[in-house]
Amino acid sequence: MKKGQITMFIILGIVIVLILSLAFYVSRKTTAEPQFLERESFADYISSCLAQTGTEGIYKIAAQGGYVNPKGDTAYGETGDGLPVHYYLGQHQLPYVLDGNKTSMRSLSYVDTALSRYLAVELPHCLNFSFFQGQGYTVSVPTINWEAIDFDFSKATVPYSPEGVRFSVVSRDSDVVIVAKYPVLFAKKDSSFVLSDFSTTVPLRLS
């Protein structure tokens, strides 16, 4: 075999290897990108529900003097103010905050706790994964009996993730920061993943 033919075969072999490598890279990239985009869309959806539920909770609690329900409501871990009489403004119940020389304004830490418990109860009611299930996904979400564990986040565990459920709220001068640990399992065919960390900042005041 002539030297020129050997050189040609070497060049041809290099070209074939490059083509195969490029095809493998492209196939992996096109497979990975949709999965990444799907995860991102799942996370965005859950975060949007967190923001919506947080906004609803802020309006409700702010309108009722720092309480989910001034009369108390065990479903939200709400003890209420212990008073037999309340003002009413439309559908909202307003607690007495001034009785003679005594004020009974609820502290901001209690208000933040009330909102975190409201989120724990109400976030699942916002989430609807039927669209994703229509795409072939099986979705597992936390099912916590909050009253049974007295809203103790350390006991809010799920069987498919080492991370439990937790909500934290920080009220600032001009907004409210909400951070959630809320593990959601997505499974499709032979692959699965868990999304747990979500956060949002609501541009409203509780303080």
Among 86-100, 118-132, 164-178, the range scoring the smallest mean pLDDT is 86-100
Query: Which amino acid belongs to residue 21?
Result: S
Considering the entire predicted model, what is its pTM? 0.77
Confidence of residue 192 (pLDDT cuts 50, 70, 90): very high
The yes-or-no verdict on residue 8 having pLDDT over 60 is no
Mean pLDDT of the chain: 82
pLDDT in tens, 82-97: 676 665 556 666 565 5
For the chain, give every domain's residue range: 3-202
